[in-house]
Amino acid sequence: MELSRRQLLGAGFGLVGASLVDLRKDAAPTFSLLQTAHGARITSGRTVTARYARRVRRGSLLVAVVSRLSKKPLAPTVGQVSDDRGNHWRQAVEFFTGGHYGVDIWYCESAGGGNRPNVTGRCLDYPVDPGTDGMRMSLFEYSGAHGFELCDQIGQAEVRGTTVAATTNFGLAAPDELAISAIVGDMSSATVPAGWNLRLADTTQGCYVADTLGSDSSTAGTPFSGVWTGLSGGRAGAAVVATFVPRGVSSRSRRLVQSCYTDSAILPAGKGHRKWTSQAYPVNPKPGNTLVAFMNGSIYHPSIDCGSVIAVSDSAGGRWHRVGQSGPDDHTGINISCWICESAAGGPTSVTATFSNASQQLACLLLEFENLPRNLKVKSVSRRTFGGDLPHLTTATPLAAGDIAFAFRTDVFILPQGPGSPAWKQVISDTTGANALMMLDTPAGEVAASWSGSVVENGLDILLVALTGDGPNQRRSV
């Protein structure tokens, strides 16, 4: 239920790379909440839906919060959000605990407008039986945001008592950003952070959502924290926060258009496939855009080489080439590889991987980018294939300003995670073992990828790929 319609006065800033420039100090943009909607709670299956109550405006910021419980050890990970209006959705932040609680924030940066979108979230195919005991989607529509790459900072925290602080990993890029926080757990009540607005209080599931519309408590350059109190009976749960700048990069800038992630069920030992077809892009890629796929197969047997992805093709006829792989790893049974299609063919696009060994499981992250430079070439590949810690990984050679870097990490299980430095932006997170970062406009010199958090079980693979191009879009235009 919508409890207020306060307005947030932003700071009139525009985002350029990782920095901000003052565009018009005398014309501060305004966030406002236009509507909320809540879907039905589900108790089985892998998909959850909700529909907006009214038509959405063109250009609105759409936000989806998905909360879930599980009767099994792992709450299912949401790998994809889409709607029936063709809007592009991305994950802002995700976290779930070993205590069966999970919560995500997904967003669409600039809605196409039109009729009431029906929004669907889909969980991964692993675990085979997620034992979904309660999963629900809540939707929000905000006006006042302009541009792309709007999500600034994220944070995750585990509920262990009657108070939890949802704090961003790094300082905010601008003052007075829109912050949204969600918690889910075993508490019977919750008090929102001081000055925040309660947007959802689902006491049956123990899920609460709040935002900062009307608050001016955030400050550029410092981390932002929302402290939830009064978590009656709280002993376990998950908390997340995401902040959004009112003005992002222009449509001509380098930007991530859409992302989705999936993994398959694990086949029994001794069985596997040499070929596997991934999920399709939720929205058909735009012809000429750059497509990136992080893929890996897994073999859960310590004496069998996990092999490699040796070929990738897509259903639309795009041409793919591999730009790096972490390497076969008998300890984890995983070999991450990064593949690129420099010019999407357009149309429905799913990706088929061919493995050197029959793989028991496929994992695939699909990304679509706009305005990346042409003629992309590999500048550096760095990798780490086993270890029980979370080391940083540095490019093998110095990069030029304006290069592009991607980093992907997978392991057995990790608790709170996120980019280890503010230069990186998180693309996707799966607490059971995957996290991807991007840097679309690198500084000159060495670049290091690192993650916050800690590995719960031994087994770690990291791939860092840096690319350079000589096409007309190598630098941002604003």
Whole-number pLDDT of residue 327: 84
Q: Is the pLDDT of residue 323 over 70?
A: yes
Distances in Å between the Cα of 389 and the Cα atoms of 49, 401, 455, 462 are 37, 30, 6, 11
The rounded distance, in Å, linking the Cα atoms of 199 and 284 is 33
The closest alpha carbon to 30, from 168, 216, 308, belongs to: 216
The mean-pLDDT minimum among 115-124, 307-316, 453-462 falls in 453-462
User: Could you tell me whether strands 47-51 and 30-38 are parallel, antiparallel, or unpaired per DSSP bridges?
Assistant: unpaired
Each residue's pLDDT tens digit, 69-78: 887 777 778 9
pLDDT of 254 > 60? The answer is yes
Q: Which sequence spans correspond to the domains of the chain?
A: 7-244, 255-468
CA 168 to the chain's CA centroid: 15
Q: In this model, does residue 20 exceed pLDDT 70?
A: no
Among the listed ranges 136-140, 196-200, 353-357, 372-376, which one has the minimum average pLDDT value? 353-357
Question: Which of 237, 177, 169, 42 is CA-nearest to residue 435?
Answer: 169
Question: How far, in Å, CA of 316 to CA of 277, rounded?
Answer: 13
For residue 17, name the pLDDT band (cuts at 50, 70, 90): very low
Higher pLDDT pick, 182 / 392: 182
CB 463, CB 383: distance < 8 Å: yes
Structure confidence by residue, pLDDT tens digits, 418-458: 898 999 999 999 877 789 999 999 999 999 998 887 776 66
Mean pLDDT score of the chain:
86
Write the CB contacts of 35 (distance below 8 Å, at least 6 apart in sequence): 2, 52, 53, 54, 56, 140, 141
